Copies of this chain bind each other. A is one copy, B any other.
């Protein structure tokens, strides 16, 4: 029986994790949950899963939850709140495995504390590796505990890496769908609208990650994540465009053999893999090999997608640079979604923020949060300077998620 904590239980990965737990009641028990702002869902989860400990964003929400749980006759669920509450959820003494799925830098501290407390951590939060990866992976190595990736690409890499030892890895191949502008000539990039950028050919996702997929910055973040997770230099993490997104990623070994992983596109599969590693547990999630049909592969166009190159530069420099990369991208993408800058303004802003950032080594999560804030401020200033482009109808300016 594995005892689970979920950081971000009301989000998409959190709910998928609970769905996995539901399918294997004999294997998993939910000990603690850190919910976001959805009190209703948090209450339902508390009722269904009876955790020992439940954390929610604000004190007010915690009060509401407590009173509702009392009314419902639910006893023995301690309700806490805020960042300190999330840390308590992550480090609960009965917990073996922590699913880190809080979006943004908010999940950093609790994840770091979970690793420090000797928990095995399944990572579904990009910032844990992009911003604080050097700290968190160093601590995990010190503890001798694995960090298990919960996203299809790095989970695929983790599986393929089982085909040899780390010293035997030549490189990692991350596959990229290529996004909606794979076949759009660069000359048309200045006219890209928000609607076009949000129209991803393969996936329905949140707005920021959809834009990050359109600029290939999402793949850039994954390059950085792979560097940290698998302790390899950026030069050994390669990207290949694979529009069908069937093969989730590949590992090339020094002898010339390449292993590739694929499966249905269902987040419950990498979650199950992480939760049960090193075992594999039967599931009903089946991909038919006969459905492979046509697969295509092509090199990424670094001219059209400068964000990918910026991510490689930040990965190479390390330290504060990748914190700034993530922060600047978040601000730039928000500005694009609001119609304040053009699509091509995204890499421009990120490049400027990176230039203004030092390469200082990261020593603590508080330093990460400080660099993150500073980078956001610089990025915000650059957005102001760039000004509203005003070339697109207002309808294309969308609310940031």
Q: Which residues of A contact B (CB under 8 A)?
A: 159-160, 162-165, 168, 173, 238, 240, 247, 250, 252-264, 269, 272-273, 276, 279-287, 289-290, 292-299
Given A255-B273, A256-B283, the answer on whether A162 and B162 have CB atoms closer than 8 Å is yes
Closest Cβ of chain B to A249, distance in Å, is 11
A248: nearest residue on chain B (CB-CB)? B257
Closest Cβ of chain B to A63, distance in Å, is 42
Query: Does B295 contact A272, Cβ atoms closer than 8 Å?
Result: no
Residues of chain B within 8 A (CB-CB) of A250 are 289
Query: Does B164 contact A163, Cβ atoms closer than 8 Å?
Result: no
Residues of chain B within 8 A (CB-CB) of A279 are 165, 168
List 19 additional contacts besides A159-B163, A160-B163, A292-B295; criterion CB under 8 Å: A162-B164, A163-B259, A164-B280, A165-B280, A168-B279, A173-B289, A254-B281, A255-B281, A256-B263, A256-B269, A256-B285, A257-B262, A257-B263, A258-B289, A259-B259, A260-B260, A260-B261, A292-B296, A294-B296
Residues of chain B within 8 A (CB-CB) of A280 are 164-165, 168, 253-255, 257
Q: How far is B62's CA from A17's CA once the two chains are assembled, in angstroms?
A: 69
Residues of chain B within 8 A (CB-CB) of A281 are 254-255
Q: How far is B196's CA from A114's CA once the two chains are assembled, in angstroms?
A: 65
Closest Cβ of chain B to A281, distance in Å, is 6
Given A298-B290, A299-B290, the answer on whether A258 and B263 have CB atoms closer than 8 Å is yes
Closest Cβ of chain B to A8, distance in Å, is 23
Query: Does B297 contact A259, Cβ atoms closer than 8 Å?
Result: no
Query: Does A269 contact B257, Cβ atoms closer than 8 Å?
Result: yes
Q: How far is B141's CA from A60's CA once the two chains are assembled, in angstroms?
A: 65
Query: Does B295 contact A295, Cβ atoms closer than 8 Å?
Result: yes
Query: Does A272 contact B255, Cβ atoms closer than 8 Å?
Result: yes
Query: Does A159 contact B295, Cβ atoms closer than 8 Å?
Result: no
Q: How far is B160's CA from A267's CA once the two chains are assembled, in angstroms?
A: 22
Residues of chain B within 8 A (CB-CB) of A297 are 289-290, 292-293
